[in-house]
Amino acid sequence: MDEELTLDPIDWKALRLSFQIAADLCISNMEAVREGPVWEPTPDRVKAHFKEALPQEGASLNTLLRDFEENILPYGTGNGHPRFWGWVHGSGSAAGALAEMLAGFMNSNVGGRDHIANYVERQVIDWCKDIFNFPASASGILTSGTSMGTLIALNVARNEKAGADVQALGVSAGRRMVGYASAEAHGCNSKAFDLLGLGRQSLRMIAVDDRFRLKPETLRENISADKAAGFQPFVVIASVGTVNTGAIDDLVAIADICRAEGLWLHIDGAFGGLARLTGRFRAELEPMSLADSIAFDFHKWFHVPYDAGCVIIKDEVAHRGAFSARREYLQSTESGLAGGAPWFCDYGPELSRGFRALKVWFTLKSYGIKRLAALIEQNCTQAKKLEALVQAAPDLELCAPVHLNIVCFRMVFDKDGKATDALNKQIVALLQTEGIAAPSTTTINGETVIRVCITNHRTRSDDLTLLVSETRRLGVLINSQDVNLGA
Amino acid sequence: MDEELTLDPIDWKALRLSFQIAADLCISNMEAVREGPVWEPTPDRVKAHFKEALPQEGASLNTLLRDFEENILPYGTGNGHPRFWGWVHGSGSAAGALAEMLAGFMNSNVGGRDHIANYVERQVIDWCKDIFNFPASASGILTSGTSMGTLIALNVARNEKAGADVQALGVSAGRRMVGYASAEAHGCNSKAFDLLGLGRQSLRMIAVDDRFRLKPETLRENISADKAAGFQPFVVIASVGTVNTGAIDDLVAIADICRAEGLWLHIDGAFGGLARLTGRFRAELEPMSLADSIAFDFHKWFHVPYDAGCVIIKDEVAHRGAFSARREYLQSTESGLAGGAPWFCDYGPELSRGFRALKVWFTLKSYGIKRLAALIEQNCTQAKKLEALVQAAPDLELCAPVHLNIVCFRMVFDKDGKATDALNKQIVALLQTEGIAAPSTTTINGETVIRVCITNHRTRSDDLTLLVSETRRLGVLINSQDVNLGA
């Protein structure tokens, strides 16, 4: 018998030691993260290292850990650093990383069947329904993020509102379906329209007001025009926290329109949704419970390691109807492993699904909702502080109202717009390549701006003071040399 | 400054100890897996435990680890056990679990930008192109599994073959598109047709021969009929390893038809594809390189922890064209974090994507292709051995040819078909609930059968001997009592 191969180690003690070495390495790195650069470019030597051919023979774990220490760990995204504020990234946590190891050992496929990972995921979904005041009868599923959550929600909405059996016959069987989101809404929405066979142009981009919120009156006009043209409006996507500026759409006004017109209300709460847990945003985000579906992420403001998102759907029957279609080898049984319906493969497009729920469960149990909510509130307070610092600096200009946790500003000299755009791009590139800080850039009203999105539990107020002084120092330097340093 | 909150621990030494406790617990469990039951039902007490309300306050990691040890670890799927042969599950590995911890700490979002996780994933994709003899110019992306890989590939195929700008205008803008797969093909294919707006009925289920392989002549007839009816055939999905019986379609015949008819050839190689690495299947699976796209999984026969799949696509331009559409806040820059194009969000529907590549990379580097391939070959040899054991037993009957790693059989007494179906369901339920072994059931030619799928690096030949003797013991017991014991 023992001549048969396995992947199990011969020396289990050595395996234990490898885990200890690995954990110590990562914990030391996390403990010292503030001392290092936010980010450094991957050197050409390292890039070449990852061009090696398919490995024929194996290597010891300790050899691979040295490789990891030298060639992988130093060149991450940088979102664990206190001065990472690019795009919308969470900072991660030790509890989340621990849970990933446990889930790796458990090796559960949470597509279905009767085992504990399903119960853990169902509990996490129940907690989410509680957070957004959805009824106990609602359903949900963990996803890689809001892009996938949106795809799932819009698919349910499409099938519910089609007026034809589009699941069997395709969308051509019904009238042309159209939906609406603000011009500031996330790109994943039109990607979902494309994938679902509806076409990107069927998602109407509605104009926004001076606080970058969808204009309800324009929405109403668009719906009327589409109806008059013989199209079938079916969904409105409201944003709770746009990527550019953190704008929150007027949920009550949009919900009223959806009710009057019989449309599905989907909320993109990717990062902003969880602000509902704070005292500051509780009232404004209370109407999220009016939605038919909400998609949001745990890997942003809850700092769960990537990837971890969620979608909840008020009508469980519609949700299950859109995805459940099991073949003979997946039939449920009353007892044994094939029990435990409903299975998560009945709520989404995936049959293979890892035990993502465990890191969310560990994060919530380990830190508790109060502390997680206090950190969201702290980031919003820090954004207000940064806004004040920008307003106090004569050569900086604020480019959008600060409502949530995003501050958009730019450095301005007496130059034309194109030069100012280039200057601010160069400032951000230098802040990043010098490892000082990692804001990102975006375009507001046609102008390039520096964008600081604080979803970071390690940021301290003095990090923001440093950002402002370094931005101005680099801006003056670039302007005086008048050369293209980094962009 | 220090009054500001963070999720970081105060006591970093205690954190190191928690990781050591966690790793030791999981390693001890893995080391002793053969001694325990394959699976046990989650007790009601534990189910109730996972009904607790949203946690307001935090708890220590060590408290949570005790919870994990008591309430989670014992109630997994069982696929780490040597006698787990249900559905198609890999067995996991220590190297994979270690990599999950490292990835958890790195907390990378591999949707885009310039950081090391992208280089690691690109290397893994390069290795996959090498495995299937795809050109260097091909592209690919890691997915949660073949369901998502199929969705991505069929979306590219749909857009390529539509003859209209369906991305902008929706699928209604073109003729009705239809595709083909065998009647034994995986359910994820029709789910993808539904999601893509084409409709499940647009995927034609082609009859199979007595070895459960798609009949090329019937395929040809179906294509002609659809063309005559004014439909637009666009894709054929060939199966390399069907779930029911492990059948491998005639790739050369299907590729010829695709070439003649101008259709996209997609291969579902979910578990069977990697058998190409073995001496036994190299010649038969050589024509996989003729495909336009291949989807397959690492969490099955490569034992990478769930979830880890991949799709590779020969035409990189078509692939990128189907998914790249970035908004202003995601524009690339020449230097800094926003460099490093192409980004993986240009190859799939997700913008948030974890560092899934690391566990695949660790698995391949740690064990090497030769050993992984030898284990695939070993499982196929074990399936042949089980086939012989079944054929030697007078009360067992083989229900499908054994070609790859799947053995379908049933116990037969002198009874009607319905009673025999019930008997075999009860045998499987008892094997599972008593913790002896975990095969699954399926339906072959209308009859319920016991299905053993060996994608397990811990299975030894004597485990199969035990399965046969226990099956017969339980069958005799159930038959003599003539009662419904477990199903």
pLDDT at A333: 79
Q: What would the two tokens of residue B100 be? A: 């999950």
Angle between helices A357-392 and A461-481 (to 10 degrees): 60
Q: Per-residue pLDDT for B1 more than 70?
A: no
* Pick from A61-65, A70-74, A341-345, B253-257: least confident: A341-345
Position A400, amino acid = A
Instruction: Report how far residue B340's alpha carbon sits from residue B334's, in angstroms, rounded to the nearest whole number.
Output: 8
Closest Cα in chain B, distance from residue A250 (Å): 23
Over range A35-42, report the average pLDDT. 96
Q: Per-residue pLDDT for B307 more than 90?
A: yes
CB contact (8 A) between residue B337 and residue A440: yes
Over range A259-264, report the average pLDDT. 98
- Asked if B62 is an interface residue toward chain A (Cβ–Cβ < 8 A), one would say no
The shortest CB-CB distance from B100 to any of A5, A104, A323 is to A104
**B296 → chain A, closest CA residue:** A352
Among B161, B111, B164, CA closest to B326: B111
Q: Contact, A120 vs A308, CB < 8 A?
A: no
Instruction: Report how far residue A189's alpha carbon sits from residue A228's, in angstroms, rounded to the nearest whole number.
Output: 24
Q: In which residue are the tokens 């390292």 written?
A: A46
Q: Contact, A123 vs B42, CB < 8 A?
A: no
pLDDT at B483: 54
* Pick from A72-86, B103-117, B409-423: least confident: B409-423
Q: Contact, A104 vs A478, CB < 8 A?
A: no
Query: Three-state SS for B174?
Result: coil
Over range B323-327, report the average pLDDT. 82
SS (H, E, C) chain A: CCCCCCCCCCCHHHHHHHHHHHHHHHHHHHHCHHHCCCCCCCCHHHHHHCCCCCCCCCCCHHHHHHHHHHHCHHHCCCCCCCCECCCCCCCCCHHHHHHHHHHHHHCCCCCCCCCHHHHHHHHHHHHHHHHCCCCCCCEEEEECCHHHHHHHHHHHHHHHHCCCCHHHHCHHHCCCEEEEEECCCCCHHHHHHHHCCCCHHHEEEECECCCCCECHHHHHHHHHHHHHCCCEEEEEEEEECCCCCCCECCHHHHHHHHHHHCCEEEEECCCHHHHHHCCCCHHHHHHHHHCCEEEEECCCCCCCCCCCEEEEECCHHHHHHHHCCCCHHHCCCCCCCCCCCCCHHHCCCCCCCCCCHHHHHHHHHHHHHHHHHHHHHHHHHHHHHHHHHHHHCCCEEECCCCCCCEEEEEECCCCCHHHHHHHHHHHHHHHHHCCCCECEEEEECCEEEEEEECCCCCCCHHHHHHHHHHHHHHHHHHHHHCCCCCC
> Which residues from chain A sit within 8 angstroms of residue B6, using beta carbons?
375, 457-458
Tell me the per-residue pLDDT of B395-418, one tens digit each, with 9 for 90 and over: 999 999 999 999 999 999 876 778
Closest Cα in chain B, distance from residue A415 (Å): 22
Q: Are residues B69 and B157 both part of a single domain?
A: no
Measured between alpha carbons, how far is residue A105 from residues B26, B73, B93 in Å?
7, 9, 7
Domain termination site, one of B25, B51, B75: B75
- Long-range residue pairs from B461-464, CB within 8 A, at least 24 positions apart, any chain: B461/A1, B461/A4, B461/B382, B461/B385, B462/A1, B463/B82, B463/B83, B463/B437, B464/B382, B464/B385, B464/B386, B464/B389
A415 pairs with which residues across the strands? Answer: none
Closest Cα in chain B, distance from residue A125 (Å): 10
Q: ipTM beyond 0.95?
A: yes
User: Is residue A313, in this structure, part of any structural domain at all?
Assistant: yes
Among B residues 316-345, those touching chain A with beta carbons less than 8 Å apart: 323, 325-331, 333-339
Among B residues 426-465, those touching chain A with beta carbons less than 8 Å apart: 428-429, 432-433, 438, 440-443, 451, 457-462
Q: pLDDT grade, residue B482 (50/70/90)?
A: low
CB contact (8 A) between residue B6 and residue A457: yes
Measured between alpha carbons, how far is residue B63 from residues B22, B68, B361 in Å?
11, 9, 33
Closest Cα in chain A, distance from residue B260 (Å): 27
Over range B304-323, report the average pLDDT. 97
Instruction: Report how far residue A27's alpha carbon sits from residue A112's, in angstroms, rounded to the nearest whole number.
Output: 34
pLDDT at B122: 98
Q: Per-residue pLDDT for A68 more than 70?
A: yes
Q: Are residues B320 and B383 both part of a single domain?
A: no
Q: Contact, A152 vs A125, CB < 8 A?
A: no
CB contact (8 A) between residue A93 and residue B7: yes
Q: B335 or B142: whose pLDDT is higher?
A: B142
Q: Per-residue pLDDT for A1 more than 70?
A: no
- Asked if A466 is an interface residue toward chain B (Cβ–Cβ < 8 A), one would say no
User: ∠ CA(A347), CA(A349), CA(A355), 5° rounding?
Assistant: 75
Rounded mean pLDDT of chain B? 95
Q: B309 or A334: whose pLDDT is higher?
A: B309
Tell me the per-residue pLDDT of A162-202, one tens digit each, with 9 for 90 and over: 999 999 999 999 999 999 999 999 999 999 999 999 999 99
**B458 → chain A, closest CA residue:** A6
CATH number of the CATH domain containing B122:
3.40.640.10
Instruction: Describe the strand order of the beta sheet including A309-313 as a list of residue ranges.
Output: A139-143, A309-313, A293-297, A264-268, A232-239, A177-182, A203-206
Instruction: Kindly write down the DSSP assignment for every residue of B453-471, as one continuous string.
Output: E---TT--HHHHHHHHHHH
> Which residues from chain B sit within 8 angstroms of residue A92, using beta carbons?
104-105, 107
- Asked if B285 is an interface residue toward chain A (Cβ–Cβ < 8 A), one would say no
Measured from the Cβ of residue B3, the count of other Cβ atoms closer than 10 Å reads 6
User: Is residue A219, in this structure, part of any structural domain at all?
Assistant: yes
pLDDT at A396: 97
Q: Select from B47, B268, B307 the residue whose CB has the most chain A CBs within 10 Å, as the one to mutate to test that interface.
A: B307
Q: What percent of chain A has pLDDT over 70?
A: 98
Instruction: Report how far residue A101's alpha carbon sits from residue B312's, in angstroms, rounded to the nearest whole number.
Output: 28
Q: Select from A107, A118, A122 the residue whose CB has the most chain B CBs within 10 Å, as the one to mutate to test that interface.
A: A107
pLDDT at A241: 98
* Pick from A213-227, B328-342, B378-392: least confident: B328-342
Among A residues 341-370, those touching chain B with beta carbons less than 8 Å apart: 349-355, 358-359, 362, 364-370
User: Is residue A365, in this structure, part of any structural domain at all?
Assistant: no
Q: Which domain does B457 fall in, by range?
A: 373-481
Q: Are residues A259 and A173 both part of a single domain?
A: yes
Tell me the per-residue pLDDT of B448-478, one tens digit each, with 9 for 90 and over: 999 999 999 999 999 999 999 999 999 999 9
- Asked if B64 is an interface residue toward chain A (Cβ–Cβ < 8 A), one would say yes
The shortest CB-CB distance from A167 to any of B16, B194, B327 is to B194
Query: Three-state SS for B280?
Result: coil
pLDDT at A487: 42
CATH number of the CATH domain containing A473:
3.90.1150.170
- Non-local CB neighbours of A441 within 8 Å, separated by 6+ positions: A424, A425, A428, A448, A449, A450, A451, B331, B333, B338
End-to-end alpha carbon distance in chain B:
63
Tell me the per-residue pLDDT of B332-359, one tens digit each, with 9 for 90 and over: 777 788 888 889 999 999 999 999 999 9
**A445 → chain B, closest CA residue:** B328
User: Is residue A177, in this structure, part of any structural domain at all?
Assistant: yes
Per DSSP, B115 falls in state S
User: Is residue A424, in this structure, part of any structural domain at all?
Assistant: yes
Instruction: Report how far residue A250's alpha carbon sits from residue A152's, in angstroms, rounded to the nearest whole number.
Output: 24
Q: Contact, A230 vs A175, CB < 8 A?
A: yes
Cis peptide before A43 (omega within 30 of 0): no
CB contact (8 A) between residue B328 and residue A244: yes
Q: Are residues B324 and B383 both part of a single domain?
A: no
CB contact (8 A) between residue A243 and residue B451: no
User: Is residue A5, in this structure, part of any structural domain at all?
Assistant: no
CB contact (8 A) between residue B355 and residue A306: yes
Over range B58-62, report the average pLDDT. 98
Among B residues 123-162, those touching chain A with beta carbons less than 8 Å apart: 123, 126-127, 130-131, 144-148, 151, 155
B443 pairs with which residues across the strands? Answer: B448
The shortest CB-CB distance from B76 to any of A108, A187, A371 is to A108
Q: Contact, B128 vs B310, CB < 8 A?
A: yes
**B447 → chain A, closest CA residue:** A328
The shortest CB-CB distance from A350 to any of B72, B145, B442 is to B145
Q: What would the two tokens of residue A164 be? A: 């034809």
Closest Cα in chain A, distance from residue B77 (Å): 5
Measured between alpha carbons, how far is residue A218 from residues A183, A200, A226, A253, B118 in Å?
12, 19, 12, 12, 41
Tell me the per-residue pLDDT of A411-449, one tens digit each, with 9 for 90 and over: 998 767 789 999 999 999 999 999 999 999 999 999 999
Q: Are residues A323 and A389 both part of a single domain?
A: no
Among B residues 186-205, those touching chain A with beta carbons less than 8 Å apart: 186-188, 190-202
The region, left, alpha or beta by phi > 0 then psi within -120 to 50, assigned to residue A331 is beta
CB contact (8 A) between residue B167 and residue A194: yes
Over range B7-36, report the average pLDDT. 98
User: A53: buried, middle or exposed (CB in 10 Å: 19+, 13-18, 0-12)?
Assistant: exposed
Domain termination site, one of A59, A77, A95: A77
The shortest CB-CB distance from B202 to any of A122, A170, A459 is to A170
User: Is residue B237, in this structure, part of any structural domain at all?
Assistant: yes
Among B residues 10-49, those touching chain A with beta carbons less than 8 Å apart: 12, 15-16, 18-20, 22-24, 26-27, 29-31, 39, 41-42, 46-47
Instruction: Report how far residue A273's alpha carbon sits from residue A241's, in angstroms, rounded to the nearest whole number.
Output: 7
- Long-range residue pairs from A122-125, CB within 8 A, at least 24 positions apart, any chain: A122/B50, A123/A357, A123/A361, A123/B50, A123/B51, A123/B52, A124/A310, A124/A357, A124/A360, A124/A361, A124/A364, A125/A310, A125/A312
Q: Are residues A168 and A265 both part of a single domain?
A: yes
Q: Are residues A333 and A476 both part of a single domain?
A: no
User: Is residue B365, in this structure, part of any structural domain at all?
Assistant: no
CB contact (8 A) between residue B130 and residue A53: yes
Tell me the per-residue pLDDT of A90-125, one tens digit each, with 9 for 90 and over: 999 999 999 999 999 999 999 999 999 999 999 999
Tell me the per-residue pLDDT of A291-323, one tens digit each, with 9 for 90 and over: 999 999 999 999 999 999 999 999 999 999 999
Among A369, A271, A298, A304, CA closest to A103: A304
pLDDT at B417: 77
CB contact (8 A) between residue A58 and residue B192: no
The region, left, alpha or beta by phi > 0 then psi within -120 to 50, assigned to residue B446 is left
CB contact (8 A) between residue A105 and residue B337: no
Q: Which pTM does this prediction carry?
A: 0.97
Position A327, amino acid = R
- Non-local CB neighbours of A341 within 8 Å, separated by 6+ positions: A332
Q: B475 or A1: whose pLDDT is higher?
A: B475
Per DSSP, B57 falls in state S
CB contact (8 A) between residue A71 and residue B116: yes
User: A392: buried, middle or exposed (CB in 10 Å: 19+, 13-18, 0-12)?
Assistant: exposed
Q: Are residues B178 and B47 both part of a single domain?
A: no
User: B332: buried, middle or exposed (CB in 10 Å: 19+, 13-18, 0-12)?
Assistant: middle
pLDDT at A486: 44
Instruction: Report how far residue A381's alpha carbon sits from residue B325's, in angstroms, rounded to the nearest whole number.
Output: 34
Interface size, chain A vs chain B, as Cβ–Cβ contacts under 8 Å:
577
pLDDT at A482: 62
Tell me the per-residue pLDDT of B211-228, one tens digit each, with 9 for 90 and over: 999 999 999 999 999 999
Q: pLDDT grade, residue B487 (50/70/90)?
A: very low
| Extended strands (E) in B320-387 | none
Q: Are residues B195 and B250 both part of a single domain?
A: yes
Over range A257-270, report the average pLDDT. 98
> Which residues from chain B sit within 8 angstroms of residue A117, using beta carbons?
76-77
Over range A227-256, report the average pLDDT. 98
Q: What percent of chain A has pLDDT over 90?
A: 92
CB contact (8 A) between residue A30 and residue B328: no
Q: What would the two tokens of residue B78 be? A: 């069982």
Q: Are residues B304 and B399 both part of a single domain?
A: no
> Which residues from chain A sit within 8 angstroms of residue B51, using beta carbons?
123, 126
Closest Cα in chain A, distance from residue B362 (Å): 7
pLDDT at B423: 95
Q: Are residues A73 and A210 both part of a single domain?
A: no
Position A203, amino acid = L
- Asked if B96 is an interface residue toward chain A (Cβ–Cβ < 8 A), one would say yes
Q: Contact, A100 vs B107, CB < 8 A?
A: no
Domain termination site, one of A323, A354, A385: A354
CB contact (8 A) between residue A440 and residue B338: yes
Q: Are residues B68 and B145 both part of a single domain?
A: no
Number of domains present in the structure of chain B: 3
